[in-house]
């Protein structure tokens, strides 16, 4: 991850906090722009072309904004990205913005890997259990890795909770080798 992405994300989070903006609205507007960005190769080509002046790109953003109805703050944020030639890292910056907002409101981001797909009730129960363990509300992303054989691996920041069958077998093997 480029360090500049985190700086831009923090700046947008600062604006959101200062202006008392609704996080969900900002994320929705960023997602709308991101969808237009992904779907239109012409838009990407124009915005990423270094020979086109920033003023023209921002004028195009303003035309696009007539249909998208972005807040002034989100529009200005995108204009800054255009002006500083950072729009190529848009998805990274948005991801960092989500991380920063979660950090500010005390939500732990958790990556949960299981041996099989979990149902909604199982996901909720597992997230609640992990939240109790870390003492925070959690925002979880789920992955399936059949090689775990069973159980769960939860990664909260740099801490890994390995309750998988594979992990238990590896720890048992380490103990047997040491003894």
Q: What is the pLDDT of residues 42-72, one digit of tens each?
A: 999 999 999 999 999 999 999 999 999 999 9
Name the residue among 163, 141, 160 with its Cα closest to residue 151. 163
Query: pLDDT tens digits for 85-107?
Result: 999 999 999 999 999 999 999 89
pLDDT of residue 45: 94
Query: pLDDT tens digits for 132-154?
Result: 888 889 999 999 998 888 888 99
Q: Which pair of structure tokens corresponds to residue 2?
A: 């480029």
* pTM for this prediction: 0.76
Q: What angle do CA 83, 87, 91 make, to 5 degrees?
A: 150
CA distance 150 to 114: 7
Comma-separated ranges of CATH 1.10.520 domains in the chain: 3-103
- Whether the pLDDT of residue 11 is over 70: the answer is yes
CATH number of 3-103: 1.10.520
């Amino acid at each position: 991850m480029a360090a500049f992405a985190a700086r831009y994300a923090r700046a947008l989070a600062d604006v959101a906090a200062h202006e008392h903006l609704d996080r969900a609205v900002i994320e929705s507007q960023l997602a709308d722009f991101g969808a237009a960005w992904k779907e239109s190769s012409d838009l990407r080509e124009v915005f990423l072309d270094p020979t086109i002046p920033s003023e023209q790109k921002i004028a195009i953003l303003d035309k696009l904004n007539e249909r998208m109805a972005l807040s002034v703050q989100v529009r200005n944020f995108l204009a800054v990205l255009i002006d500083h030639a950072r729009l190529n890292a848009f998805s990274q910056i948005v991801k960092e913005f989500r991380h920063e907002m979660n950090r500010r409101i005390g939500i732990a981001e958790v990556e949960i890997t299981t041996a099989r797909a979990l149902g909604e009730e199982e996901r909720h129960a597992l997230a609640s259990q992990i939240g109790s363990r870390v003492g925070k509300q959690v925002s979880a992303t789920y992955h399936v890795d059949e090689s775990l054989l069973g159980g769960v691996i939860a990664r909260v920041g740099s801490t890994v909770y390995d309750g998988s069958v594979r992990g238990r077998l590896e720890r048992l093997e380490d103990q047997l080798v040491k003894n």
